[in-house]
Amino acid sequence: MHQIMVIEDDPVIQEKLSMLLKSNGYEVILPKDFFNIASEVKTMAVSG
């Protein structure tokens, strides 16, 4: 399964994108810390 990280600070848009992607078979990752987004992206790249 492919992973996609949704980097969006608007919770409504983030949720709609997440639902759309999940319904199309993607594993969606939502960042927890926007202040360290580069670190979260690197972590995802290494683990994915």
- Residue 46: the pLDDT is 81
The residues near 40 (Cβ < 8 Å, ≥ 6 apart) are 5, 31, 32, 33
Question: How do residues 3-47 score in pLDDT, each as one tens digit?
Answer: 999 999 899 999 999 999 999 999 999 988 888 888 888 887 887
pLDDT bucket at 48, cuts 50 / 70 / 90:
low
The CA–CA distances, whole Å, from 14 to 1, 29, 46 equal 20, 11, 23
- Residue 1: the pLDDT is 77
| pTM for the full predicted model | 0.76
- Residue 19: the pLDDT is 98
Beta carbons of 8 and 31 less than 8 angstroms apart: no
Whole-angstrom Cα distance, residue 36 to residue 42? 10
Whole-angstrom Cα distance, residue 41 to residue 5? 8
